[in-house]
Amino acid sequence: MTRVDNHSHILQADIMEMLAAAKAKNVREYSITEHVSQFRELRESIRFGSVHSTGRIFNDLKEYDDEFRKADEQSDWNMKINRGLEVDFSLTIRNTGRRFCKPEKMGHTPLFRTRTR
């Protein structure tokens, strides 16, 4: 049986510790998707209906992507690692979120999860 985890956040955890724990549990595909509300640019420009009151706030997409570079430097994970953003869709964030989440701005192909409110 192939083990897959497609919903993890680095909000209150270290990416290296998370990947080590997944590897120890023989996970073969691991996805980390962070809420767009955890990015300073969007949090300051959009009034989200709900946000995590604790945990990490990323200054920008580069800082978020740098977390994955740490993981990429270690080649012996023996699992597929997916990265992306979790977008809570509402009419309020539609346009601002689209500008923020442009793939060319992110520097990698994003994995998007969406929830509609």
pLDDT tens string 21-37: 999 999 999 988 888 88
CA distance to 11, 26, 66, per residue, from 61 (Å): 14, 29, 8
**Dist. CA 11–CA 65, nearest whole Å:** 14
Which pLDDT tens digit goes with each residue over 79-99?
A: 999 888 877 666 566 666 566
Which of the pair, 14 or 52, is modelled with greater confidence? 14
CATH code of 3-116, in short, is 3.20.20.140
Per DSSP, the three-state class of 57 is coil
- How are strands ordered across the β-sheet holding 80-89? 3-8, 27-35, 80-89, 111-116
Residue in 16, 15, 7, 63 with CA at minimum distance from that of residue 35: 7
Domain boundaries in the chain? 3-116
Structure tokens at 71: 């993981």
- How would residue 116 be classed by pLDDT, with cut points 50, 70 and 90? very low
